[in-house]
Structure 1
């Protein structure tokens, strides 16, 4: 798997329990191996909680799920991958990933020499219905060379970076580590900036400045982004909207819905249905 930016890579989210299936794949440079295809896709139902250790492919990779949510870590950033939020990983990009048991995981590889990357860095791709059907066609049907070439051409034309992406940069600072851990472990954690500053013995200004320097977001916006990322995973597995809202720290489904729409461009109900 691939679940992405090419800063120094950290294994964000690497599992510690022995029940997780750990998979190892090689580290390849972009185009290091010639492949006999333009686009080749695969599908797997993940039997148990699974973690892919850091690896890279000689091909570009597109990751998505038919059901459920998985995650990918690249350069200190964690991406959430669902049925509508796919992830493009350029060839040669080191990444790790993890997926819970039961998800239906898809990946498509694109030949480095035949397909220009849509981005120099990992980017989200909106997996539209048409794009999904075309990728399914390449996977499921025995196509003539001409039909395959035409289908691949349309797929490549539809691959564009999405306007919204479910991604979160994990701060490196030891000072911010307990904040990041608390919010990722319990997205309903309501500890305020002032309380964190008191606990850590620093000013609120210092925390805000460090968050912005390391993640591009202030404290409040980072917490909101972390909540939306986990909410997307819950919705992808079919959890009820009111339950998700409460578990990520919102007092009403309406306030959660507004926040989710700002982050993803769609309502929680539409996201879950897709």
Structure 2
């Protein structure tokens, strides 16, 4: 289990081969594009970690298959086929993706960002996916390119749910955080942690709430769901992922996932081939 949960810090998994990339840090608007939206796609030969950097333009990240993560400060979002990530210009962030995944990105050089200036999970619905793909087949600075850009800006919308975990930094919580991140199936209760750490359950709960907005139990459940969704995106079957993070049954895991993310593990892993439209 240790090898899988370490994806939380986006550096090491069971493959043992990690390519680390270093990109520059730009302030917002430091570099301008000759168009409003510039897309790219890259198939990752190795598991890859991007150290903290920032872009002069807004960035949209998404996947057609597989998973990835984006970390901003103490928050880590998981990217899945239905869920992309909007990263505003100038925001420092790091990222991780496994080998074999096609990383898709678009840089937006727009005066009025359609999703604002805060990191936001984006709904990668079929129409948006089609338009983003079509943009890369067109000649820049043509009427068709400009029309496609306008349509993309019009249909971009926040997702109704997200896969997000906050990593608290309080010294009191460090043993709990490290244990759960190294083994999300760890069954230690709040009362047991309180006894072990010499603090009251109320003090521990307050510390979690102050940093993450979640109490102990909700935070542990969120961390487990975050890890399990990553495992599922790497090809693990839902019952196996559920067991790996401490759930006795797939149905219990599905209930917890719906409570935390607003949707089911199957929906977060949804195959995109059935929803693709012809370009």
**What is the TM-score of this pair, normalised by structure 2?**
0.88
Does residue 120 in structure 1 map to residue 117 in structure 2? Answer: yes
Counterpart residue number, 1:21: 19
SS of the equivalent of 2:59 reads strand
Q: Which of 97, 100, 105 lines up with 2:98 in the alignment?
A: 100
Distance 1:34 1:110 in 2: 10
Distance 2:193 2:121 in 1: 32
Q: Which of 78, 81, 106 lines up with 1:80 in the alignment?
A: 78
Counterpart residue number, 1:148: 145
Give, in angstroms, the shift of residue 107 of structure 1.
0.7
Distance 1:127 1:95 in 2: 21
Is the 1:30–1:112 Cα contact (8 Å) retained in structure 2?
no
Distance 2:174 2:183 in 1: 14
Distance 1:145 1:22 in 2: 37
Give, in angstroms, the shift of residue 68 of structure 1.
1.3
| Structure 2: runs of 5+ lacking an equivalent | 1-7, 272-279
**Alignment size in residue pairs:** 262
Distance 2:263 2:205 in 1: 29
Counterpart residue number, 2:175: 178
Distance 1:246 1:14 in 2: 22
SS of the equivalent of 1:181 reads helix
Q: Which of 197, 221, 224 lines up with 1:224 in the alignment?
A: 221
Distance 1:176 1:85 in 2: 30
Counterpart residue number, 2:61: 63
Deviates more, 1:24-33 or 1:227-236: 227-236
**What is the TM-score of this pair, normalised by structure 1?**
0.90
Counterpart residue number, 1:135: 132
Counterpart residue number, 1:271: 268
Give, in angstroms, the shift of residue 140 of structure 1.
3.1
Distance 1:201 1:26 in 2: 44
SS of the equivalent of 2:255 reads helix
Q: Which of 226, 232, 237 lines up with 1:235 in the alignment?
A: 232
Give, in angstroms, the shift of residue 143 of structure 1.
6.9
Is the 2:227–2:245 Cα contact (8 Å) retained in structure 1?
yes
Counterpart residue number, 2:249: 252
Is the 1:56–1:93 Cα contact (8 Å) retained in structure 2?
yes
| Structure 1: runs of 5+ lacking an equivalent | 1-11
Give, in angstroms, the shift of residue 144 of structure 1.
7.2
Deviates more, 1:62-71 or 1:14-23: 14-23
